[in-house]
Amino acid sequence: MTYFTRPAIVGTITKNVKENAAAGKEKGADLLEIRFDLLLTNTPGFEKYLKNDFDDPILTNWMKEQIKDAKSAGLPIIGTLRSKEEGGAFEGDEDERFKLIKEILYDVDYVDIERKSSKKNIYECRQIAEKSKTKIIISSHFFNEEDMPSLKKMEKVLKKSFEKGADIAKVAVMPETKKDVLKLYQAGLRSETPEKICLIAMGDLGKQTRILAPFYGSILSYGYIDEEAAPGQLPIDQIRKGFQLLGLL
């Protein structure tokens, strides 16, 4: 899997994988992200795996089956199992979560892991990814307006993500003002690794970044297929229309 040479649209799947994978491709997605934590939430009988029974082989086999269903659309797959601390739904401890992530590294094209994860778990994922040719997205989330990072901190976060082994460094923030959104764009402009970063501002103020952030170096734009997976996501077909209007495709 190589890097994209133009901004790519990610369609996030939270339920009905096979159907939404097909719909995502039809609506213009370039990649599909399976949000396993939200998929577990939306699958009757599987909610228990968010809190316990992490070693149950049924869970691992189910995750691999979801990836197989998503791949039927013929698009690259991002696997994400987001922790509750980072805005997801998985409530197990980090080591349990990473056991599952490591199980699917050979099955996906990209895996999203958090920058705040332990050095050990990131390193072990990196070692497996080098063998499996899987690309690693290292993500950082700032969900509250009061946690909005400064420009200097965003630059530092992007740099640290690459130092930890990121192929793509992702920063998602919750802006309080339009100036906060401009800081995000500025971080992209000042990045030493444009087109290997993903910049997202969430919420209503941040909706513009789903289309405009690629002008400032962001290579991925996340949108939804049938329901939002994060505040401020746009439908992927609208993102594609925006890209076309602005000459990004």
Alpha helices (H) along the chain: 17-27, 36-41, 57-71, 94-104, 119-132, 151-163, 178-189, 203-206, 209-212, 236-245
Q: How many other β-carbons are positioned within 10 Å of the β-carbon of residue 136?
A: 23
Residues 6+ away with beta carbon under 8 Å from 78? 10, 31, 32, 33, 34, 108, 109, 110, 111, 112, 137
Residue closest to 142 by CA, chosen among 108, 111, 187: 187
Structure tokens at 58: 């049924």
The helix (H) or strand (E) run that includes residue 172 is strand 168-173
The answer to whether 233 is annotated as binding is yes
Residue closest to 35 by CA, chosen among 94, 74, 77: 77
Q: ∠ at Cα 79 (77, 80), nearest 5°?
A: 145
* DSSP output for 8-51: EEEEEE-S-HHHHHHHHHHHT-SEEEEEHHHHHHTSTT-GGGGT
Q: Catalytic: 207? A: no
The answer to whether 6 is annotated as binding is no
The answer to whether 82 is annotated as binding is yes
User: From the candidates 25, 141, 183, 196, which is the catalytic residue?
Assistant: 141
User: From the candidates 170, 183, 196, 241, which is the catalytic residue?
Assistant: 170
Q: Catalytic: 133? A: no
The answer to whether 190 is annotated as binding is no
* Binding-site residue ranges: 33-35, 82, 210, 233
Active site residues: 141, 170
* Binding-site residue ranges for 3-dehydroquinate: 33-35, 82, 210, 233
